[in-house]
Structure 1
Amino acid sequence: MVALVAGGTLAPKPDGAPFTAVVGAILAWAVLLVLITWAVGLLPLLVRRVSTAGSTTPVPQPASSAASWHRVRTALMVVSVFILLTALASRTPRLAFFTQFENNWQGKLVDLLWVSILFAMLWRWARDEARLTWRIRPGSGRWALIVIGAVFGVFVGLTLLAVATDPEIHETVDADQLLYNTTIPNLTEELIWRAAMLAVLDRAYGTPWRLAGAPVGWGLVVTSVIFGVVHLILLSPSGEFSLNIGGGIFAAVMGVAMAWIWAYTRSVWPAFLLHCAPEVAVDVGMMIAA
């Protein structure tokens, strides 16, 4: 809220767009994300209810079935608040100091601030369920490093191949770009999307499935889909919408991978490293090809 007020009073208006129009677009974008979250989040419960209603044979319902609806609705409300907060933080017009940077450091720092306050207030939950811990599950480090290294290597190779095929796509990697892809921004996204959101949803849905040895549940589906939608439906600083289908699909797939490694290692830090891997790999590939 402080960032929003500061943005409205102090920040230069992006491309001359009225601040109210920009905020209106941000809220519309956030509401769309929330609606999709609820649609995906309630899907398994709706399917279960429809299948139960259509059955000619009475199906015994567990005593906790009503409570499960309550838990899921509560979890989705909490996640909706997280989505609104990160939408406002990441899209609020930047203050003059931050406009000198190509990347949106302001949005990521504000995100880091509010999620850090959340974890500080609920430290035991942050450590035990959000997995804000340096200790990983015994025996999980090897496969985590293999996956992270494989993703890094693939994207270095793809970048080198792309530049060799079309030298015009080569870009110079500066310090701002490298720092942005290796520090706070990716860490902030993992703290919000995996550590906070996925922990809340896993408590509501449970983790009845196994994905390559990791206990997962419908929370993985919800966070991965919405993470993909965030990168599919783009909102410019001036409040204009656009679509990036390739970016959305890639983000959804990476969302699954990062949710898996978070659940497999029981720590957010490997998820952060996996998040960095493709972006840093592209930077490294560009520097090698220079």
Structure 2
Amino acid sequence: MRRQVSDPTNTARWVLPVLLPVAAVLVAHLVLDPGGWAEALNGLVIGASHAAVVVFGTALVVLVLLAARILVRSGKGRATRVPAGRTWIAVAVAAYLVLLTALSGRIAPLPIFESLERHWQGKILDLLWLAVLLGILHRWARAEVGLRWRLEPGSARPALILIGATFGLFAGLTVLSVALGWAPAQPVSVEQLAYDATVPNLTEELIWRGVMLAVLVAVLPPTRAVLGARVGWAVVISSVAFGVGHTVLVDLEGVWTLSLAGGLFATAMGLLLGWVWSRTRSVWPAFLLHCAPEIGVDVGMILVA
């Protein structure tokens, strides 16, 4: 009899270990600044608050979509039945992922990161707890998350076309905007290029497309084919959550802001990224697509500098 592979919904072995990198940074803060426990606690409260907003905001949007009958319905034939208990566990896992990345991103940077322009610490923390999770559930990660380099047959070309077109679009729009005076030319630092092309976008894809989609797809199977990719509720829900997270923003000081344009763009990109992940069954093309708009803007600014 074949042994069942452990995944985030049928084992709790990963739940506490993924907190270790976050706890290590908090301990480091308290060691370096014994009186700074209040600031550390405030960061956790801010992060947990943002996670709650994202989770409940996503639930509200999905309920509205359901009420309006916009969500993808089942195709021909009967949909795969999944036990309701496992569905709720999958939703809880997705919410926990949102909480983890929210906490990682709201902890004040340690002295080694303070001189940097971007919040590298939060993204590196994301990468560390992801490494713990994927290491513990390595068999499931290789099979379902999309860590493999080999893409689904016939999927490389459409994925590369989409990535190249997105890069070209944003690079061209940036050059045009500066040329017409709609936006000022801005210098692009080496750090900005590195940030836009490496760890930050990779961690977001591993969280929002890799792990989260793999968990949701298992309980919400794809119901329709879109341009060669089997998609369904899982892609929609993860995209909505991604969009809500980019609509309601909070900084390290606890200042809340709204960005409707940013949220709509993130939702649209989430759908495209979800399509690429579903079409290729690999997280790497999604990572490249995630980088494409930002690198496109950077290259455009370099060209007009």
Pairwise same-fold verdict (TM > 0.5)? yes
Residue 282 of structure 2: aligned partner: 267
Secondary structure at the counterpart of residue 145 of structure 2: coil
Alignment match of 1:226 (pick from 241, 259, 266): 241
Pairwise CA distance, 1:116:
1.2
Q: What residue in structure 1 maps to residue 251 of structure 2?
A: 236
* TM-aligned CA distance change 1:186 to 1:192, over 3 Å: same
- Counterpart Cα distance in 2 of 1:8 and 1:178: 32
- Using the TM superposition, give the Cα deviation of residue 12 of structure 1 relative to its aligned residue in structure 2, in angstroms: 12
The DSSP-based 3-state class of the residue aligned with 2:88 is: helix
1:3 to 18, 25, 38: 25
| SS of structure 2 residue aligned to 1:169 | coil
Which blocks of at least 5 consecutive residues in structure 1 are unaligned?
49-61
| Distance in 2 (alpha carbons) for counterparts of 1:37 and 1:10 | 38
Cα gap change, 1:195/1:276 in structure 2, threshold over 3 Å: closer, same or farther? same
1:159-209 deviation line (CA, Å, top 9, x unaligned): 001111227621111110000011111011000110000100000101111
The answer as to whether partners of 2:46 and 2:106 remain within 8 angstroms in 1 is no
Q: Tell me how far apart the structure 1 counterparts of residues 184 and 39 of structure 2 sit (CA, whole Å).
A: 34
Distance 1:99 1:239, change over 3 A: same
Q: What is the aligned partner in structure 2 of residue 212 from structure 1?
A: 227
Partner amino acid for 2:243? G
Give the Å deviation of 1:99.
1.2
| Whole-Å separation in 2 of the counterparts to 1:111 and 1:189 | 8
Report the CA distance between 1:7 and its aligned residue. Answer: 4.2
Counterpart AA for 2:190: A
User: Residue 179 of structure 2 aligns to which amino acid in structure 1?
Assistant: A
TM-score normalized by the length of structure 1: 0.87
Q: Which residue of 2 aligns with 1:128?
A: 143
Which residue pairs with 1:99 in the alignment?
114
User: Match for 1:3: what amino acid?
Assistant: V
Deviation at 1:127, TM superposition (A): 1.4
Percent identity for Structure 1 against Structure 2: 46
The answer to whether the 8 A contact 1:13-1:93 is kept is: no
Deviation at 1:35, TM superposition (A): 2.0
Q: Work out the CA distance in 2 between the residues paired with 1:141 and 1:44.
A: 32
Structure 2 Cα separation of the partners of residues 13 and 175 of structure 1: 35
Separation in 2, partners of 1:116, 1:38? 28
Change (3 A) 1:147 1:155: same
Q: Which amino acid aligns with 1:281?
A: G
Report Cα offsets for 1:10-65 as digits up to 9, x if no partner: 47999xx94444432222111111223444567789999xxxxxxxxxxxxx9986
Q: Which residue of 2 aligns with 1:58?
A: none
Deviations 1:230-254 (A, max 9, x none): 1111111101100111111101100
Contact residue 155 and residue 279 of structure 2 kept, 8 A = yes
43, 46, 54: which one aligns with 1:33: 54
Partner of 2:6: none
SS at match of 1:234: strand
Instruction: Give the corresponding residue for 1:77.
Output: 92
**Structure 1 residues 8, 233: closer, same or farther in 2, change over 3 A?**
farther
Contact 2:79 2:223 in 1 (8 A): no
In the TM superposition, 1:1-290 aligns within 5 A as: 1-7=23-29, 10=32, 18-39=39-60, 67-166=82-181, 169-290=184-305
Question: Does the 8 Å contact 1:3/1:89 carry over to 2?
Answer: no
Please tell me whether the aligned partners of residues 41 and 76 of structure 1 are also in contact (alpha carbons under 8 angstroms). no
Count of aligned residue pairs for this structure pair:
274
Q: Distance in 2 between matches of 1:180 and 1:215?
A: 32
8 Å CA contact 2:80, 2:221 repeated in 1: no
